[in-house]
Amino acid sequence: MAQAPVLPTGFELPLEPRLPRIGSVDQVAVEARATDLSRRSIKREAKLFALDLAVRMMDLTTLEGSDTPGKVAALASKAIRPDPSDASIPSVAAVCVYPNLVQTARERVGDSGVKVASVATAFPSGQSPTDLKVAEARRVVELGADEVDMVIDRGAFLAGRYAKVYDEIVQVKEAVGDTHLKVILEVGELGTYDNVRRASLLAIAAGADFIKTSTGKLSSSATLPVTLVMLEAIRDVYEETGRRVGMKPAGGIRNAKQAVQTLVLVHETLGLDWLTPDLFRFGASSLLNDVLMQIRKEKTGRYQSPEYFTID
Amino acid sequence: MAELEKRGDRTPAPPKWEYASAPESREIVTLEERYGLFVGGDFVEPRSGEYYETIAPGSEEPLAEIPQAGPEDVALAVGSAREAFENGWSAAAPAERAKYLYRIARILQERSREFAVLESLNGGKPIRESRDVDLPLAAAHFFYYAGWADKLEYAFPHRRPKPLGVAGQIIPWNFPLLMLAWKIAPALAAGNTVVLKPAETTPLSALLFCDVLRQAELPPGVVNIITGDGRTGAALVKSDVDKIAFTGSTEVGKAIQRELAGTGKKLTLELGGKAANIIFDDCALDQAVEGIVNGIYFNQGHVCCAGSRLLVQESIYEPLIEKLKRRLTTLRVGDPLDKNTDVGAINSRQQLEKIEELVAAGKEEGAEIYQPPCRLPEKGYWFVPTVFTNVAQSYRIAQEEIFGPVLSVLTFRTPEEAVEKANNTPYGLSAGVWTEKGSRILWMAQRLEAGVIWANTYNRFDPASPFGGYKESGFGREGGRHGLEPYLAFDRAGSAGG
């Protein structure tokens, strides 16, 4: 059936590439869908596949005021060899640290292939002048970060000043250049799924390589429905423009089961193409050991004491 | 992505991620080789001496031999129900009736896994649905009506409700245990006794339910369960019952109504449907797609209120159909007992043939067919989830109830046109409306001729919510306070409804 395009030319948003229809999200239905998908039963080789993928997709994170070079060094070692007793366990994708610890992390990961990600732009609140945020982002790249995790200005977003949020992301993207930019929406402060979708599309339009749920500083973070809403925004952008944007749920994913459920969500929403660390990451601090424990259980049929997995 | 590729560190996506099979164990279910009729609290051999085989539609494996009750068997069952009604049940304290209903509800919850497995085995529906929908709802119905049993005076103030006597109940094969619960719970709460005939192809959960009745120590004869094909149903309609409640096809419903005309027996009918699921362009699109999928592929489309006619506002047609087709590729069709199965087996060969016939008619009439790539098991009855686009209102697939996983898509331009097309059918069971505009939902609900209207959801059921049809979809309501009324007579002035 011959159809006019959904957004007639005159209505197109002045953004390149063109955004999909912003639309809305039905809370009840999106939560029901996420619950349905969380009930997929992933067993044996399918589970092992997911767990191995989860390790390779992990951004091992420490973002505390008490972080020291010693702490970050230990984390970097863990990132390179998560389980010294099992050579088949891959390295994680990245370590994620505060700007002051980027250099330590950089030295420690060396040429292992593990990336260094740094938060920036007045993480976690984002409540600083734009020029300072842009300068911070530029500086962490100079310090050796491969990836920058910025926060959006939720104050501006919730006040309806979307253009400010947009401009800031554009400026940060310019400042970091080729460095991979992840944009943190801090969904726990956005209040509605409609806002999550709006912020996702805004961040993507402004140049985000990845969109990320949370800072990890709030109790409400990367729930399955929120992740689903963001994945659907990514899917709409891909279908409209062919552009592939990555996704990073962070905060609240503490065990292997949640990680597998999240991967099922990705698989059934975006397909196999997104099942790579290039386009999907987990931001987590305590998830890795549970995944390692589950991998060993799948391989040996027995659970091992948590004492056998290093706390870093 | 471009930047990543430049840095040469692109990790390729995996070629596949197949979920390992995750079948629910059958061991929890113990099948008899041959069943009896449940009359007067015991399993008895049929006087007819006839049996037929019931099978698993997902594998065509024979499961058990089931009695084909003849007129003599029906009379015995009705006699047993009559005796139980007169000797105790109708005079029992209402709280006593509630006690049994609560017991049944709790036992169903305790044994829900066993029932869920049996339901999927004998009916072909995915275990995900029997586990998460059929069983919880069946138990909820008993809980809900248990609560009404001693409050009938308050449900119908100043009308002095009284039970009718013996209710003959005939249920379909699409939700065997749930339809049994919808029928038995209000009948018992109102003080009636029951003779129930499950569908020919799905008798096993009803027969297992007899075990629940014994476990609950329900007095013998209060519920009798007789099995057989349409002939048994016809004999039950002709028998000495005070009321018939039927859920099934419009054709059979009409025959029952003809048969009962002038007899004074009360009748409720819940018949077919060809529901419109109406999608406005301001809806939450991805959730509407889920609603469409749930509306027509839930239980293989074997749902009388299935959203089988999709009415899409033309301005959103293309993106919606694209999303729908994409979503269809993720539906997992196969073994009903696998926990990851979304669409199970077609209930019977006969039903499969009917679906195939109508789908062939759709192609011939000029509709465009879409079916996702799909590997079907070799044995058993299967049909790939299907979407027809370019469907005209006059095509058979837009008019007749297919009762299978087949969706017909039509378009509309304005809300008025949506209402006109939605109502342009002899049926009137249900409808769905998808819009973010609250005022439009109310505007539509006032104009749609359907007993159930869902807004921004589909196929949601709750024991407190009445369910039933308009026009050729039947009359009478099941569920809620309304669902008690067809099982009661009233002393004082005022219509008993029905």
Chain B residues within 8 Å of chain A (Cβ atoms) = 1, 3-4, 6-7, 9-20, 22, 128, 132, 282-288, 290-291, 314-319, 322, 330, 339-340, 389-390, 411, 436, 456-457
Q: Do A276 and B14 touch (CB under 8 A)?
A: yes
Q: What does the pLDDT read at residue A294?
A: 96
Question: Mean pLDDT for chain A?
Answer: 92
pLDDT band at A232 (very low <50, low <70, confident <90, very high): very high
Q: Structure tokens of A312?
A: 């870093």
Q: Domain B37-271+474-490 is of which CATH architecture? A: 3-Layer(aba) Sandwich (3.40)
Chain A interface mutation, best of B3, B11, B17, B130, highest count of A Cβ atoms under 10 Å: B17
A91 within some domain: yes
Residues forming CATH 3.40.309.10 domain(s) in chain B: 276-462
**Greater pLDDT, A5 or B63:** B63
Give the count of beta carbons closer than 10 Å to the beta carbon of residue A311: 9
Q: What is the residue-level pLDDT of chain B in tens, covering all 498 positions?
A: 444 444 445 789 999 999 999 999 999 999 999 999 999 999 999 999 999 999 999 999 999 999 999 999 999 999 999 999 999 999 999 999 999 999 999 999 999 999 999 999 999 999 999 999 999 999 999 999 999 999 999 999 999 999 999 999 999 999 999 999 999 999 999 999 999 999 999 999 999 999 999 999 999 999 999 999 999 999 999 999 999 999 999 999 999 999 999 999 999 999 999 999 999 999 999 999 999 999 999 999 999 999 999 999 999 999 999 999 999 999 999 999 999 999 999 999 999 999 999 999 999 999 999 999 999 999 999 999 999 999 999 999 999 999 999 999 999 999 999 999 999 999 999 999 999 999 999 999 999 999 999 999 999 999 999 999 999 999 999 999 999 999 999 986 544 444
Among candidates A1, A43, A44 on the partner chain, residue whose Cβ is nearest the Cβ of B317: A1
Q: Looking at the complex, does the CB of residue A131 fall below 8 Å from at least one CB of chain B?
A: no
Give the C-alpha separation, A266 to A286, whole Å.
21
Domain count, chain A: 1
Q: Do A28 and B390 touch (CB under 8 A)?
A: no
**Interval A125-144 mean pLDDT:** 97
- The count of CB pairs under 8 A between chains A and B is 106
Q: What does the pLDDT read at residue B58?
A: 97
User: CB-based contacts of B357: which residues, under 8 Å, 6+ apart?
Assistant: none
Write out chain B residues lying below 8 Å of A46, CB-based: 17-20
**Interval A148-173 mean pLDDT:** 96
Among candidates B20, B284, B389 on the partner chain, residue whose Cβ is nearest the Cβ of A25: B284
Write out chain A residues lying below 8 Å of B436, CB-based: 24
Checking if the pLDDT of A17 tops 70, the result is no
Q: Do A278 and B11 touch (CB under 8 A)?
A: yes
Residue A180 has φ and ψ, to the nearest 5°, of -65, 125
Write out chain B residues lying below 8 Å of A49, CB-based: 14, 17
Residues in A 68-87 with any Cβ partner in B closer than 8 A? none
Q: Which of B200, B304, B400, B401 is catalytic?
A: B304
Q: Do B457 and A29 touch (CB under 8 A)?
A: yes
Q: Which of B129, B270, B478, B485 is catalytic?
A: B270
Q: Do B340 and A40 touch (CB under 8 A)?
A: yes
A309 within some domain: no
The C-alpha angle A95, A206, A262, rounded to 5 degrees, equals: 45
**Interval A176-180 mean pLDDT:** 95
Write out chain A residues lying below 8 Å of B13, CB-based: 272-276, 279
Q: Looking at the complex, does the CB of residue A37 fall below 8 Å from at least one CB of chain B?
A: no
Write out chain A residues lying below 8 Å of B284, CB-based: 23-26, 29-30
Distance from CA of A242 to the nearest CA of B (A): 11
Please spell the DSSP secondary structure of B387-456, one letter per residue.
EEES--TTSHHHHS---SSEEEEEEESSHHHHHHHHH-SS--SEEEEE-S-HHHHHHHHHH---SEEEES
Q: Is the peptide bond before A17 cis (omega within 30 degrees of 0)?
A: yes
Q: What does the pLDDT read at residue A10?
A: 39
Beta pairing, strands B243-247 & B193-197: unpaired
Among candidates A39, A267, A276 on the partner chain, residue whose Cβ is nearest the Cβ of B12: A276
Distance from CA of B1 to the nearest CA of A (A): 7
Q: Structure tokens of B406?
A: 């087949």
Contact A272/B14 with Cβ under 8 angstroms?
Answer: yes
Q: Do A29 and B456 touch (CB under 8 A)?
A: yes
Among candidates A24, A32, A267 on the partner chain, residue whose Cβ is nearest the Cβ of B436: A24
pLDDT band at A20 (very low <50, low <70, confident <90, very high): low
DSSP H stretches of helix in A39-101: 44-56, 69-80
Active site residue A212: yes
Q: What does the pLDDT read at residue A240?
A: 87
Chain B interface mutation, best of A7, A278, A279, A298, highest count of B Cβ atoms under 10 Å: A278
Checking if the pLDDT of A11 tops 70, the result is no
Closest CA in chain B for residue A265: B330
Among candidates B7, B128, B457 on the partner chain, residue whose Cβ is nearest the Cβ of A39: B128
Give the residue carrying structure tokens 């539906």.
B331
Residues forming CATH 3.40.605.10 domain(s) in chain B: 37-271+474-490
- Domain span including residue A84: 28-299
Q: Looking at the complex, does the CB of residue A43 fall below 8 Å from at least one CB of chain B?
A: yes
Q: Which of A59, A83, A149, A290 is catalytic?
A: A149
Q: Do A33 and B14 touch (CB under 8 A)?
A: no
- What's the CATH code of the domain at A221? 3.20.20.70
Instruction: List, for residues A29-48, the tens digit of each pLDDT value.
Output: 999 999 999 999 999 999 99
Closest CA in chain A for residue B326: A269
Q: What does the pLDDT read at residue A22?
A: 86
Contact A252/A260 with Cβ under 8 angstroms?
Answer: no
Active site residue B270: yes
Write out chain B residues lying below 8 Å of A204, CB-based: none
Q: Is the peptide bond before A124 cis (omega within 30 degrees of 0)?
A: yes
Q: What does the pLDDT read at residue B426?
A: 95
Among candidates B322, B339, B436 on the partner chain, residue whose Cβ is nearest the Cβ of A41: B339
Q: Do A43 and B287 touch (CB under 8 A)?
A: no
User: CB-based contacts of A230: which residues, under 8 Å, 6+ apart?
Assistant: A185, A196, A197, A200, A211, A213, A247
Q: What does the pLDDT read at residue A219?
A: 86
**Interval A231-244 mean pLDDT:** 94
Q: Which of A133, A248, A290, A312 is catalytic?
A: A248
ipTM value for the complex: 0.91
Q: Which CATH class is domain B276-462?
A: alpha beta
Q: What does the pLDDT read at residue A15?
A: 52
Among candidates A26, A39, A46 on the partner chain, residue whose Cβ is nearest the Cβ of B17: A46
Q: Under DSSP, is residue A96 helix (H, G, I), strand (E, B) or coil?
A: strand
Distance from CA of A86 to the nearest CA of B (A): 22
Closest CA in chain A for residue B321: A1
Closest CA in chain B for residue A244: B1
Give the count of beta carbons closer than 10 Å to the beta carbon of residue B74: 31
Write out chain A residues lying below 8 Å of B330, CB-based: 268
- Convert A3-25 to b/e letters by CB count within 10 Å (16 or more is b): eeebeeeeeeeeeeeebbbebbb
Closest CA in chain A for residue B16: A272
Q: What is the radius of gyration, based on Cα positions, of chain A?
A: 19
A5 within some domain: no
- Between the alpha carbon of residue A16 and those of residues A12, A170, B349, the distances in Å are 10, 12, 54
Among candidates B17, B20, B339 on the partner chain, residue whose Cβ is nearest the Cβ of A44: B20
DSSP designation for A250:
B
